[in-house]
Amino acid sequence: MRSMTKNRTLFTAKAANGTSAVLINTSSYRNTLFSIFAATSSTGTIKIKGSNEETPAFSSAASASNMWDYVAIVNLQTHTETAGDTGVAFAASTGVEIVEANINAYRWMTVELSGYSAGAFTVVACQSNNQ
């Protein structure tokens, strides 16, 4: 039987570069899906951040005392893996991309919007276990 969480919203119509203040605790789940919606000819890149720190500061630079990194993702439509540093890029487009993050032993995750120049981005996450 599969157990799933309710969707958690990380961005709602985000229209500027930045990192979400919402942290998702992934320590009890095997899978985390991120649904990314780009509205109205959006341009920008969504990247997933992960950390095993007790209290990561995702909006600060990664360092020896604040260890986090961008997480590789798999597009569930194409089954294409994308490096975490690359993220999901939109160029004057509107659409939905659903990706699964490789959460292997991460404790916390969130998302970042970078390279923003137009439109608005909404991101929600759902977690599950396959049992």
SS3 for 16-63 is CCEECCCCEECCCCCEEEEEEEEEEEEEEEEEEEEECCCCCCCCCCCE
- Spatial distance between the Cα atoms of 57 and 108, rounded to a whole number of angstroms: 10
**In this predicted structure, what is the pLDDT of residue 118?**
97
**In this predicted structure, what is the pLDDT of residue 131?**
66
**In this predicted structure, what is the pLDDT of residue 29?**
87
Q: Give the residues of the chain that fall short of pLDDT 70.
A: 1, 131
Amino acid, single-letter form, for residue 100: E
**In this predicted structure, what is the pLDDT of residue 28?**
86
Name the β-bridge partners of 109: 24, 50
Report residue 107 as tokens.
Answer: 């404790």
* Domain boundaries of the chain, sorted by first residue: 2-130
Are 95 and 24 a contacting pair, CB within 8 Å? no
Residue range 2-130 in CATH 2.60.40: no
Name the β-bridge partners of 66: 63
